[in-house]
Each structure stands twice: as structure tokens, then as C-alpha cells.
Structure 1
Amino acid sequence: MNIRPPVEDWATDFDHLDPRWIEDPFPIWAELRSSCPVAHTDRFQGVYLPTRYKDIREIAYHTEAFSSRRVQVRATPPPVKSPAPPITSDPPHHRLARMVLLLPFTPAAIDKLIPGTRAICNELIDRFAGKNQCDAALDYAQHIPVLVIARMLGLPADQGEKFRDWVHGLVEAAVLDDEAMVGTLEEMTAYFLEQVQRRRKTPSEDLISYLVAARVDVQPLTDNHILGTLRLLLIAGIDTTWSGIGACLWHLARTPEDRRRLASDPALMPTAIEELLRAYSPVTMARMVTKDTVVEGCPYKAGQMVLLSFPAANRDPAMFPDADKVIIDRKENRHAAFGLGIHRCIGSNLARMELTVAVEEFLKRVPEFHLADPKAVRWSEGAVRGPPRAALEV
């Protein structure tokens, strides 16, 4: 954790890396929502923070004034450009880049991955079965999406540690550390370029080969487009999902009535997963203000950044009754865990499947568990929130 000046006023000097924010942001958002629904800070080169669902939704759709060319808030300007289409693309380029990825992430395509994902989950549980303790994050959640996305991309499963290091380098360390960002990008570029060159010589049935063979307006994708998309698929396919799985198990470990209800009534699982996604949404994205504009009476100045906190949107009581309560049979749940607008997560079907299977298999094999030390659980900092460690007694 970097030593940073403490926040004196969340409305005018917020810091999403402040330890109080990292551990429990919900009361901070609630206070802002009632007193100053759009906070601002001069830190990170100037950032706005809307906390209401309606503001966040309007900004997400307002692509003319809020660009996706930069989707991460940093202490300094990015030392290098690292495009990752379609997430860093604006219209009209965004639509074509997104269309390329639609087919591999349809519900039908994801359904084919369910048996393999169940096998992964059970192989992981086998490693700690019969023991009195395990770590829901380190022993389970952090491995599942790594192994699933590695299979989809056709990458070696034993390189999970490398992939996790890349996640840390680009999602957490890069916010404050230029060297970490540049080093991680260089390493990923060299690695994926070699994989792309292999597929050009010997195509196979994987996502890298799919991208190599893809065409947009009859033209092949450039190397930069392919490499950026692969960075996106790996990083977005790992960190967000393991954070979601970890948060689900953390909640069930500390809420035995929900855990036992789900274990006894598996038909409730789809509704419960949606509610856990709403309550513990892992992802906050950013937008760059490209021109002075006003949203719901609040002015946004060109050149500043906006934190689009989908987790804050999902805790807005104007949108969700009893927004701070986790209600696993919540009937109406138009949550924003996968984002809003044209950049809504293209991998949402994959993430839902992985969360559902991970929780189902864990409850089948480990129906009774609780946190070994609730005070010892820490949450990750930066754009993706989840518990990197969550020791359980089982």
C-alpha cells in the first residue's frame, strides 16, 4: 500500500486508493449520494465520481463527450498507448471491433465450456478436501478463470502465475507505477506476438486462431488489434471473475442463512448470482471527458476523467429498494455489474457461467464453511474489487 495523504473530504478530495475506501466503500458512496452525488478530486489529474445510477447510466451512453480511449484512472498520463479493442474504442470503430468477438461469447458457445469448468472446480476442491481450512481466493477463486480463459485462448494451463502477475501489473500496480505498466505491456506483447505467429503457421481451435482468421470489411485484423484484444480477454477474463467468485464465497461464509438456503434450494442459484453480482460488483471503469458538458445539472470539464463506479450504481436506493441488503431472491434486478451502454461486458455470459458453476460445485462439496478470521480479509485496490485472500474453516 502506498503512503498517501489521508482524505479529509470525500466530496472534494476523494481517493479510491484510500484504505477506508478499499475496505468498505459503501457508506462513503451512500453519504456522497445524499449530500454530493458527484464528487471530484484533484488527485489522479482530476477525476469526477458520480454515485447515482441515473448519472452513471447517462455518462456510459454519452460517448461523444465521454471517451473510452482511456479507461483507467492513473496518477500520471499513460507512458505508452495500450489499446485494447473494443473496450478502448469509441464509435464508429467500436461496433466493428465488438462484432468480431460476439460469436465466441454467445450463450451456446459458453454452454460448451460448462463441463470443463465443473471439472476444474472439482480438481481444485480435491486439493483441499478433507482439510480443516482453505482459502476461498488463493486455493479456488483465483484459479478458475485463469484455467478457463487459458483453455479458450489455447494457452498453457501451467502459466497461471505469469497471468496473475500481468493482472497485478496492469490493474493494480499500473495506477501509480509507470515502470510496472510498461514492463507488463512489453512482456505481454512479446508473449502474445509469439502465440499469434504460431497460429498463422499452424491454426488450431482456439480464440487466438479465431482472431488471426477474423476479417473486418474483408480485411484481416492488424497485429496491434489482435494483441490489444488478447490483452483485454486475458486481463478482463481473469481478475473480474475471480473477484466475483471470491466475493460470493465471502458473503456465503459470513451469511449462513443464505448459504444453507442455496445449498438446499439449487433452483434459487440464478437469482442469487444476479443479486451477488449486484451487491459485490467488482468492476469500476473510467471515461475521459472530451468536451465540456453537463449531466443532471453537474458540469464536467474537458480533459478530466470520470470514474464510472458500477458498484456504486448498484447500491443506489433510487434504483434498488433496500440497496445495501443482499436479498438472494430479489425479483427485479437490473443491475449494472457488467456495465452500461455500448461497452457492456461482452464476456457476461462467460462470467455468469463461471460464478454459477464455482458456487454450485463449492456448495456441493463444502456445504458448511465460515471465515476463519473475518477481520483478516482484505480487499484489492484499484479498478477491480475482490478479496485476494479469504481463509475459511470448513
Structure 2
Amino acid sequence: MSDSPSASYLPEHPPVSDWVHDFDHTDPVWTDDPFPIWETLRAASPVVHTKRFLGCYLPTTYEAVREIANDTEHFSSRRIIVRDVRPEVTARAPPITSDPPEHKPAKQVLLPPFTPDAMKRLEPRVRAICNELIDEFIADDHCDAAARYSKYIPVRAIAHMLGIPESDSDLFINWIHMILELGIKDEDELMNGVREMTGYFVAHLEQRKLEPGDDLISQLLRAKGPGGQPLTDEHVLGSLRLLLIAGIDTTWSAIGSSLWHLAKTPADRERLIAEPGLIPTAVEELLRAYSPVTMAREVVKETTVSGCPVKPGNMVLLSFPAANRDPKMFPNADKVVIDRRENRHAAFGLGIHRCVGSNLARMEMQVAIEEWLKRIPDFRLDPAGKVTWSEGTVRGPRQLPVLFGNNA
């Protein structure tokens, strides 16, 4: 695909007029409200196709998503974002960009720092971060809950785990914007983001080699790969890029979507205040209903999915959010039921690439909601403001103006 036009010459995408045969997950209509689009696509076929993005499939049902996620023979994870160009893969982020047999050892290295016990040790710092953030705006009786709260919880938590300055949060957020949003349509932005992030981590890697500590970067430098060999610097840098990108935007989006739901659904908010023990169950339902992450796969061998042929040379938009709205899998799939008991959602993915950081994300969401409701129990969307949503691979509110206190 090296003959693909350079990003600077890519035309703007024309608006979608036929979602079933010409979908575009970066279209503003999709960005604002994808749920009715998924319903339309699901009614048409378990797998739909577009010629955009050099050819891309979208499975629309839970079963079709599960089938692809579990099939590493026909679908590769070497590319995990659907974009307008497909240059040679150079910057990897193991294990998420790894296929078997490389995947398993790369994932096993990352499991120990994310155990439930490790999360218990981290939880007090996350609670403190939430309250430090709330302290900054609670007296104003209004805030942008995405920009002032949900955005900074995971970024500061992951910085704390990595042993890098929490004060560098805005740098990390900007790289994520360059890579996950601007980079979908602009190769230069993507590569600049990856380069800046890599340069930042190289400096921290060199420092840890001289002065190792207990932080996650030091743990990765001490880790052993296949054959008991230390991980290469390239592998460690790829994993650090993954932790920063996957560990921030996803959870920031999930926390923001949860607050958006509670701001516009007083009955659910009041119930969680009256029954705080329900919050972990509610978190699972909010993850199902507003799953932030859509991953991608590349078709490498011809096969069929739910009876539909898929051909090599195409990408697959692996929409876990669409799977989680499939009524065949979830009764009242389009309704948020905060005490839903049977909830085998796919928000953290399916198959071998299921999210390494799911324990971290759950803890951060639960703590963020608990601390917010303790201090701001009564809040609502600001009718004078506008809620905006991120474009592309990860969906969550980027502006979330809310009123509380004397304004509630």
C-alpha cells in the first residue's frame, strides 16, 4: 500500500448518504450519535462494507464481533486503527499490535502491575486525584466535567504508576489527540505524536537504567521476555506508548460518558446516592451502554464471518460498542439498566487482546463516580453549553458543561 496518497493530499471525506454501503466512523453524524446508525446497519447485515479507508468491514452483531476477535488466523492485529492510509508498520505497541506467538509473552509481562491487589494499592492516590480536581472548581457551581475532571483522572493515575511527573499530563493528552483523532486523516500528525512520545520515554528509560525504582518503567526494564532475555528498548517503548494511549483516552471517555448519563438521568443518580453499593454494578452497565473503544484488525486471509465473505486487503472496524447494543445478546440493549445483573459486555474487548488494564479502568471509574457524587450529588447538563464527542476510535465527551450547587 506504499502508493497510497500522502496525508496532505487526502481529500476531505464526503458526507455519508448511504450508511449500509458507505459508512464512515469519522462522519460528524456518527460522532454525535452512532446508536441509531448501528441499529440500521445491524438490521441490514451482520457485516457491512465501505470502500472508504481503502476498504473496511464493520461487524454489527455481538456474535460477528466475537468471531473476528477470536480469529487470529484470518485477522491480524498489526494495525489497530482504521485510517485513510496504510504505510508500513513501524511503531508497534505490544501486546496490542502483536499476533500469536509473540502476543502471549508480551501480554504476560504487563499483567502483574494490573492485578486487583495492585489496584488496591493505587486506589488512595486515585481518590486523592479526584478530590484535588474537584477542589479546583467546586466553588464555581459549574464546570466542564470532561475538561476539568474526567480527562485528568486516568492521565495522572498512569503517570503516577509510571513514575513520571503528573504535571506533564497536558503533554500526554496532546499526543493522544494527535495520534487517535488528528492522525486518522493526517499521517504527519500521527508520526509527530509518536515521535514526541517516544523521545519523552527514551529519556525516562535512560534515567531508570541509571536509577531504577519501583515504578512501572523500572519493572518493564527488569522484566524478562522469551528465553529469559530482557525486553529490548524498542519493546519497552512500544509498551509504554500503549499504556499511555490505551490507559488514558479510554477511561477518560468512560468516566465522561458516565457523568453525562448521570447528569441527564436524575433517577439513576439519586439511586446511586441512596445505594452506593450499587455503583460497581452500575459501572458495568455504563461500560456496556457507552463502551468507548473500537479497535481494528486487518484481513490477512479470505474467510466468512456470520455467513458474510471478507477479503484480504481490507481493514475491519471491530466495534465493541455496537456489539454491546445487540438486542440478541442484551435484553433492552438500548436502555441503561444500572442494576443489570447478567452483563457479559465486550467493553474491554474479546479474545486474546482483552484489555490488560480492565482492573485499573474499573477502579478509576468507580472511584471517580463515588467521589463526584459525594461532593456534587445534584448536577445537570448546562442548557447554555454544548456537549461534544471525540471522533474516531475512542468515543467519549470532550466538552461536558454541567451546573451544580446554587446553579442546580
Superposition deviation, residue 15 in structure 1: 0.5
Whether contact under 8 Å (1:78, 1:178) holds in the other structure is no
SS at match of 1:81: coil
SS at match of 2:48: strand
Superposition deviation, residue 190 in structure 1: 1.1
Structure 2 residue corresponding to 1:358, chosen from 354, 363, 368: 368
After superposition, the Cα gap between the structure-2 partners of 1:376 and 1:300, relative to the gap in structure 1 and judged at 3 Å, is: same
SS at match of 2:164: coil
Structure 2 residue corresponding to 1:274, chosen from 262, 281, 284: 284
Give the letter for the 2:136 counterpart.
R
Give the letter for the 2:310 counterpart.
Y
Distance across 1 between alignment mates of 2:255 and 2:313: 36
Distance across 2 between alignment mates of 1:373 and 1:51: 33
- What is the aligned partner in structure 2 of residue 146 from structure 1? 155
C-alpha distance after superposition, 1:153-211 (max 9, x if no partner) = 01111111100011001111111101001111111111111111111111011000001
Superposition deviation, residue 3 in structure 1: 4.5
Give the letter for the 1:361 counterpart.
E
Alignment of 1:340 with 2:359, yes or no, is no
Alignment of 1:307 with 2:317, yes or no, is yes
- What is the aligned partner in structure 2 of residue 71 from structure 1? 80
Query: 1:1-394 counterparts in 2 under 5 A?
Result: 3-78=12-87, 81-216=90-225, 217-373=227-383, 376-394=386-404
Give the letter for the 2:366 counterpart.
T
Aligned alpha-carbon RMSD (Å): 1.1
Whether contact under 8 Å (2:78, 2:89) holds in the other structure is no
SS at match of 2:298: strand
Moved over 2 A (4+): none
Give the letter for the 1:302 counterpart.
P
Distance across 1 between alignment mates of 2:89 and 2:321: 29
Whether contact under 8 Å (2:380, 2:403) holds in the other structure is yes
Superposition deviation, residue 36 in structure 1: 2.4
Superposition deviation, residue 14 in structure 1: 0.4
Give the letter for the 1:68 counterpart.
S
Distance across 2 between alignment mates of 1:373 and 1:220: 55
Distance across 1 between alignment mates of 2:278 and 2:87: 44
Distance across 2 between alignment mates of 1:188 and 1:125: 28
Distance across 1 between alignment mates of 2:65 and 2:208: 40
Distance across 2 between alignment mates of 1:360 and 1:164: 24
The TM-score, its normalising length taken from structure 2, stands at 0.95
Superposition deviation, residue 28 in structure 1: 0.6
Distance across 2 between alignment mates of 1:59 and 1:84: 20
**Share of identical aligned residues, percent?**
60
Whether contact under 8 Å (1:292, 1:301) holds in the other structure is yes
SS at match of 2:107: helix
- Could you list the runs of 5+ residues in structure 2 that have no partner in the other structure? 1-10
Superposition deviation, residue 296 in structure 1: 1.4
Whether contact under 8 Å (1:79, 1:182) holds in the other structure is no
Superposition deviation, residue 374 in structure 1: 7.8
Distance across 2 between alignment mates of 1:158 and 1:363: 26
Give the letter for the 1:231 counterpart.
R
C-alpha distance after superposition, 1:327-350 (max 9, x if no partner) = 000010000000000000000000
Superposition deviation, residue 375 in structure 1: 6.9
Superposition deviation, residue 41 in structure 1: 0.6
Distance across 2 between alignment mates of 1:147 and 1:185: 20
